[in-house]
Amino acid sequence: MSRSKRPPIRIRPIDAAFMVFAGMVYAIALKYFVFPSGIILTGTEGIAVSIAYYFDKTIIFIVLYAVFQIALLTFAYLKISRGFAIRSAIVVATVITLLFLLPEMAFADPAPQNERITLVLFAGIISGFAKAMAFKHRGSTGDEDIIAAHYAMKYLRPVGSIAIIAGVVSTAFGLLLQYLKVNDFPALVNTLMYTSLYIFVSAQTLNAMYHKFKITMLVVIDENPDRVGEAIRKVSPHRTYTVQSDIDGRLNKQLKMVRTIITLEELPRVLESVRSAAPNSFYYHHELEGVSRKFYITPIG
């Protein structure tokens, strides 16, 4: 009996272009803001950069980064999806290439008493933007983002939150190497503070821009629940909704309250559909916490 062939992966040119762009932005964040500021990255990147700092050789980071990413991309291929893995590989290949090709430039003085905080803040914002750009187009920047995508699907947690957890081990490892190298406890604490700031800013930027795992309840009040429900199912056919009778206390008029739970990513399109089908309806929405894991979210890849 012949084995059925898996369908070929087709990466749209626009997605590939955005993956390359995300890789360019992330490489710029690493080359011009992370490395000069001496902060520790999250995940295996943090381990790689800590060893590179210890030996004062950026090439060590690039080599270790490539090795770690191959392992993580293999995990993504097997556990998440082939498309996600391939898109992430485009980002990683772009980062590695540009770390070799980008010229040396200095945008700020990394000394703690000067402009180190500027470098750290820009590093967090730019890297968070690059991660969000990759995620929005069904890829990632690799490393802990791959693990974040896996566990975000499993536990319905924002992907940026996983990066904070991943940063604990890498930061501890990096601080240990720094202490062994310089034996300076105040410098250690200084690096810890700036690294914590970078992780927080990067995670918040990512969570602010990427809404796939943020869940919200949309409530629509209208006379005709069928047209509202049809509008919801038109753009999100995998979603259901509930209908509850309601009364307008001022007009003593019978109304219906339609509730649905969707992701914040789906919300703009669903609202547009509802407004088109029921222009006189009243609606509101609010974010939810503690939603059952049975809630379905379309795969990233």
Domain CATH code at residue 261: 3.30.70.120
Please give the pLDDT value at position 248: 72
Do 66 and 202 share a domain, yes or no? yes
Q: Which domain range does residue 45 map to?
A: 13-209
Please give the pLDDT value at position 1: 41
> Which tens digit of pLDDT belongs to each residue from 187-235?
889 889 999 899 889 888 988 888 877 889 999 999 888 999 999 999 9
Do 28 and 102 share a domain, yes or no? yes
Do 175 and 90 share a domain, yes or no? yes
Do 39 and 111 share a domain, yes or no? yes
Number of domains in the chain: 2
Q: How far apart are CA 9 and CA 116, in angstroms?
A: 43
Give yes or no for residue 61 having a pLDDT over 80: yes
Do 51 and 153 share a domain, yes or no? yes
pLDDT bracket for residue 289 (50, 70, 90): confident
Select from 180, 209, 238 the last residue of a domain: 209
- Let me know if residue 171 belongs to a domain: yes
Please state whether 56 falls in left (phi above 0), alpha (psi between -120 and 50) or beta.
Answer: left
pLDDT bracket for residue 113 (50, 70, 90): low
Range 93-113 average pLDDT: 83
Asked whether the beta carbons of 248 and 255 are under 8 A apart, the reply is yes
> Which tens digit of pLDDT belongs to each residue from 6-18?
666 777 888 899 9
> Which tens digit of pLDDT belongs to each residue from 239-260?
999 998 877 777 677 888 999 9
Select from 165, 180, 209 the last residue of a domain: 209
Give one DSSP letter per residue of the chain, joined into a string. Answer: -PPPPPPPP---HHHHHHHHHHHHHHHHHIIIIIHHHT---SHHHHHHHHHHHHHT-HHHHHHHHHHHHHHHHHHHHHHT-HHHHHHHHHHHHHHHHHHHHSPP--SS--STTTTHHHHHHHHHHHHHHHHHHHHHTT---STHHHHHHHHHHHH---HHHHHHHHHHHHHHHHHHHHHHHH--HHHHHHHHHHHHHHHHHHHHHHHHH--TT-EEEEEEEES-HHHHHHHHHHH-TT---EEEEEEETTTTEEEEEEEEEEETTTHHHHHHHHHHH-TT-EEEEEE--S--TTS------
- Let me know if residue 8 belongs to a domain: no
